[in-house]
């Protein structure tokens, strides 16, 4: 038996998911693949880490994603023990969410019920990442890994957990900056709690509600206001972007990505001088570009056409660079 779980890239709607907002990611053609068989004891071998994870292992490091997922999933579903090998073509920490792909792959391998609801599986995997890896990520990663469809972007309303598909056949470029702030997880968690504080001052449950009511942000000062402004404008951009894609206006979509980056840099303040420089360089060579993921390093994502590939490769010599296509979400086969 095997499961395949793709990585994902988020094209618009950054730092909106944990505020109950909209996101626009898609699964990409890089994947985690687990070939396995049912077994008496649980044992998976990771080719990347050249090590086994077994049931009795301590829940730490890369093993925490697997054992954590197993714990959360088995609270809600009948599961089986499996023995197998994890192979991956998803670079770790490059903004393609290898962690969510790993969680979803493990979940699909161990769940016996093939009719289990994908969104439910996604929620449990996210809980595992919160509890055992300590990253307070939103639902976007896991949901897009399991529910995406080829040749489309996955529009997800992170509050309602409703979704739809927007046609998309562009080429996705990811440039890995090669830098990742050591403290990015704690900065990320700080942004999450800042946003909650802001919503409280505004008297709403979350920023999503404040956006819907079009609340004035005057009661917030300085930093808090800037963060909320990012959320408000980013929500508007996601809505505009889906319209742009439906009318096949890639230029407009690219422009919205550029504006998103500006806002992430100046209002949400999760960029770095290097990320800004890479974004400017990439956006000049394609429709548009922005940082993707938590920020403070990581990757820049852009969208381009086939004929842009060579010049982008030349311009980013020395950087890890990926050209990707949108693809179907995770699947299982006997």
324 binds, among ligand ADP, Mg ion, none (CB under 5 to 8 A by kind): none
Binding of ligand ADP by 143 (CB under 6 A): no
Site string for Mg ion, 94-113 (x = CB under 5 A): ---x-x--------------
Nearer to Mg ion, 16 or 97 (CB): 97
Choice from 71, 93, 323, 325 touching ligand ADP (CB under 6 A): 93
Cβ-based nearer residue to Mg ion, 70 or 237 = 70
Q: Which is nearer to ligand ADP, 87 or 226 (CB)?
A: 87
Helix (H) or strand (E) holding 216: none
The answer to whether 57 is a known catalytic residue is no
Question: How many degrees, rounded to 5, is the angle at CA 26 between CA 24 and CA 31?
Answer: 150
Residue 36 Cβ vs ligand ADP, minimum distance, rounded to whole Å: 14
Tokens 């008496």 identify what position? 40
# residues near ligand ADP by CB under 6 A: 17
Euclidean distance between CA atoms 156 and 151, whole angstroms: 16
Closest CB 65 distance from ligand ADP, rounded Å: 5
Residue 144 is a binding residue for ligand ADP (CB under 6 A): no
State which of positions 232-251 bind ligand ADP (CB under 6 A): none
* Contact status: 102 vs ligand ADP (CB under 6 A): yes
300: Cβ–Cβ under 8 A, 6 or more apart, which residues?
A: 174, 175, 177, 275, 278, 279, 282, 289, 290, 291, 292
**Nearest alpha-carbon partner for 290 in 239, 246, 237:** 237
User: How far is residue 38's CA from residue 219's CA, in Å, rounded to a whole number?
Assistant: 58
For residues 232 and 157, give the distance between their C-alpha atoms in angstroms, rounded to a whole number.
14
DSSP 81-121: -EEEEEEE-SPTTSSS-HHHHHHHHHHHHHB--TT--HHHH
Burial status of residue 162 (CB atoms within 10 A of its CB: 0-12, 13-18, 19 or more): exposed
Instruction: Out of 17, 141, 176, 308, pick the active-site residue.
Output: 141
Which position has the token pair 């800037």?
226
Contact flag: residue 62 with ligand ADP (CB under 6 A): yes
- Name the token pair of 2: 């095997």
Please tell me whether residue 263 binds ligand ADP under the rule CB under 6 A: no
Q: Which one of residues 3, 27, 67, 86 is an interface residue with ligand ADP (CB under 6 A)?
A: 86
**Residue among 145 and 312 whose Cβ is closer to ligand ADP:** 145
Q: Which span (91-99, 156-164, 171-179, 300-308) binds Mg ion, by CB under 5 A? A: 91-99
Copy the structure tokens of residue 67: 């054992």
**Rounded to an integer, what distance in angstroms lies between the CA atom of residue 294 and that of residue 149?**
24
331 contact choice in Mg ion, ligand ADP, none (CB below 5 to 8 Å, kind-dependent):
none
In whole angstroms, the minimum distance from the beta carbon of 216 to Mg ion comes to: 35
- Where is 213: in which H helix or E strand? none
* Contact residues for Mg ion, defined by CB under 5 A: 97, 99
User: Residues in the site for ligand ADP, rule: CB under 6 A?
Assistant: 32, 46, 48-49, 61-62, 65, 86, 88, 92-93, 95-99, 102
Question: Which residues have a catalytic role annotated?
Answer: 141
């Amino acid at each position: 038996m095997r499961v395949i779980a793709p990585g994902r890239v988020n094209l618009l709607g950054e730092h909106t998911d944990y505020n109950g907002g909209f996101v626009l990611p898609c699964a990409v053609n890089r994947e985690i693949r687990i070939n396995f068989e049912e077994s008496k004891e649980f044992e998976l071998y990771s080719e990347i880490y050249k090590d086994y994870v077994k049931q009795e292992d301590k829940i730490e490091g890369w093993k925490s994603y697997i054992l954590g997922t197993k714990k959360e999933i088995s609270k809600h579903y009948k599961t089986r023990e499996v023995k197998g090998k994890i192979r991956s073509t998803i670079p770790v920490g490059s903004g393609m969410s290898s962690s969510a792909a790993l969680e979803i792959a493990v979940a699909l391998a161990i769940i016996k019920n093939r009719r289990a609801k994908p969104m439910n599986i996604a929620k449990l995997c996210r809980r595992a990442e919160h509890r055992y890896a300590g990253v307070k990520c939103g639902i976007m990663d896991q949901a897009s890994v399991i529910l995406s469809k080829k040749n489309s972007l996955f529009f997800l309303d992170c509050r309602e957990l409703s979704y739809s598909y927007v046609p998309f056949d562009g080429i996705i470029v990811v440039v890995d900056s090669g830098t990742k702030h050591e403290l990015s997880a704690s900065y990320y968690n700080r942004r999450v709690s800042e946003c909650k504080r802001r919503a409280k001052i505004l008297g709403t449950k979350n920023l999503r509600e404040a956006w819907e009511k079009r609340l004035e942000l005057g009661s917030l000062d300085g930093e808090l206001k800037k963060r909320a402004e990012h959320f408000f404008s980013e929500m508007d951009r996601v809505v505009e972007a889906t319209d742009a894609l439906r009318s096949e206006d890639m230029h407009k979509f690219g422009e919205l990505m550029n504006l998103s980056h500006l806002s992430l840099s100046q209002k949400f303040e999760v960029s770095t001088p290097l990320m800004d420089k890479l974004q400017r360089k990439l956006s000049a060579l394609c429709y548009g570009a922005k940082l993707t993921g938590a920020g403070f390093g990581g990757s820049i994502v852009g969208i381009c056409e086939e004929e842009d590939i060579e010049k982008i490769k030349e311009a980013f010599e020395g950087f890890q660079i990926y050209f990707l296509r949108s693809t179907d979400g995770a699947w299982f086969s006997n």
